[in-house]
Amino acid sequence: MGVSGSCCRVSDVQAGRGEPVIEVTAAAHPNLAFVKYWGRRDDLLNLPLNGSISVNLSGATTTTSVDFDDGLAADEVLLNGEPADSTTVGRVTAHLDRVRTMAQVVSRARVVSRNDFPADVGFASSASAFAALSLAATRAAGITLCERDLSVLARKGSGSACRSIPDGFVEWLPGRDDVSSYARSLAPCGHWDLRIVTVAPETAPKLVSSLDGHRAAHTSPFYAARLAEIEHVLGRVRASLVTRDFQSLALAVEREALSLHAVAATSVVAHVPWLSGILYIEPATVRLMLAVQHWRRDGLAVAFTLDAGPSIHLLCEAGSLGDVRAAVTQEMDGIPHQLYVSHPGRGAWLKNETGEAEAPPDQTCSQ
């Protein structure tokens, strides 16, 4: 959104109980963490054990329309043109219930959501999905939340979704409680002309979800060490972003991703007794991790980061994109994969009837 808006008050509610409003459409990008959220102190509220820093990925978008309709007996959810599975409907309904409570609306809703990117290519679709849903559903229910409160709401749908609400480079403050755990923009999209090359090798579905990874993190003997240095890592990444120091960012971001994967690999997933640890990476991932280190030694300013999956995200400045793409193409020759290029993207936004971006309201966030 890129602006703060006035925080919701009950008097902002346009709709009375169950009064239908209009269909509202919103969109959001997924985001990529430079410092990762890994492990929670509250599973229900999605409160993280550490702060995190991310960038919105312009190369992928979720667009979601919501309308509350008195005629519906239950929420309806269409995902990429198909009725969503029961788990997804349950998560969406739980999120709509949060909005209904805030807006004092009882009607069920019709939710139509579409991703312009395939599932399982390394974009955190739950982040863009819950960011777009939060914005569309609140507006359709007749309330306008400020950026901070919208981020708090999105976080309850999916933790990292709170980071897809503000613009550009974003920090999620872990906070002390529900209302103080939200994301805010560190710098706008245009601050640094970075490129993010996402390489998704074709692999079998991962064995352990990120949800189970979060839950298992504390079982790793290395988790306490990770948390002990996280403030330092956050400080270094923040400073590298502010000064646009690529070399410093590269080393901090790579080391941070390796730290998460060291924790995952030494975590115990209680309900999977045959699993020694969580390995999210695949041979093609390791191949590119090693290649990136060699390319950097040879003078190419590039870095990698990894989320809870086999995809690898390569960071570089815009001027190095051609060289990075060429190096990836050569390295991945004969290995089935998909490749997407993003630049820093805007935060969640509303769309008008013609599908064009609508300027966010210029409002000040009350405390």
Query: Which chain residues interact with ligand PMV by CB under 6 A?
Result: 33, 36-37, 52, 124, 126, 158-160, 210, 214, 307-308
Report, in Å, the least distance between residue 253 CB and ligand PMV.
12
Tokens, residue 360:
């966010």
Tokens, residue 23:
């269909």
Report, in Å, the least distance between residue 195 CB and ligand PMV.
19
Is the Cβ of residue 56 or residue 126 nearer to ligand PMV in the bound state?
126
Contact 170, 316 (CB under 8 A): no
Is the Cβ of residue 40 or residue 337 nearer to ligand PMV in the bound state?
40
Report, in Å, the least distance between residue 39 CB and ligand PMV.
10
Distance (Å, rounded) from C-alpha 131 to C-alpha 134?
Answer: 5
β-strands 169-173, 52-56: how paired? antiparallel
Residue 116: strand, helix, or coil: coil
Report, in Å, the least distance between residue 308 CB and ligand PMV.
4
> Which residues neighbour 23 within 8 Å (Cβ) at sequence distance 6 or greater?
65, 66, 67, 110, 140
Is the Cβ of residue 155 or residue 343 nearer to ligand PMV in the bound state?
155
Q: CA torsion angle for 138, 141, 144, 146 (degrees, to 10)? A: -20
Is the Cβ of residue 144 or residue 311 nearer to ligand PMV in the bound state?
311
Is the Cβ of residue 65 or residue 128 nearer to ligand PMV in the bound state?
128
Is the Cβ of residue 10 or residue 44 nearer to ligand PMV in the bound state?
44
Report, in Å, the least distance between residue 367 CB and ligand PMV.
27
β-strands 194-201, 312-317: how paired? antiparallel
Tokens, residue 54:
């991310």
Measured from the Cβ of residue 254, the count of other Cβ atoms closer than 10 Å reads 19
Report, in Å, the least distance between residue 290 CB and ligand PMV.
21
